[in-house]
Amino acid sequence: MNKKKILESLKKSKFRSKFRLNSKYREYISKKGIKTIREHAYEITEKRISSKDIKNDGRQTPMKGHPVFIAQHATATCCRECIYKWHKIPKNRNLTKEEKEYIVNIIMLWINKELSTKDEY
């Protein structure tokens, strides 16, 4: 999937487009550094969505608390159902290394786009 094309489609979703990085999250990213945020994205992806067997799929990603969580909702990488619907990655098997990389990359692309905007929420 073309990541930039997906982000453009997600912007058209009323639900997905409401997610933004507020000043608290921007400050957190600034303090931790983008490399650490990428590491967090890998850890969260591995822990919360990489398995095919997620008991609380659709409810495992909080709506606040970490910039990666916000990015997951904005990019439809928050649960296996959304990943399937938007990114066409099957949910009946564990994610491959390449799929995890794709998910982290789209999360980081969204975060970087947010950081480059002047609007703070």
- Domain spans of the chain, in order of start: 3-116
Average pLDDT per 10 consecutive residues for the chain, totaling 121 residues: 80 92 96 98 95 80 93 96 94 95 96 84 50
Q: Is 51 exposed, middle or buried, given 0-12, 13-18 or 19+ CB atoms closer than 10 A?
A: middle
Amino acid at 104: V
Instruction: Give the model's pLDDT for residue 58.
Output: 72
Instruction: Give the model's pLDDT for residue 21.
Output: 96
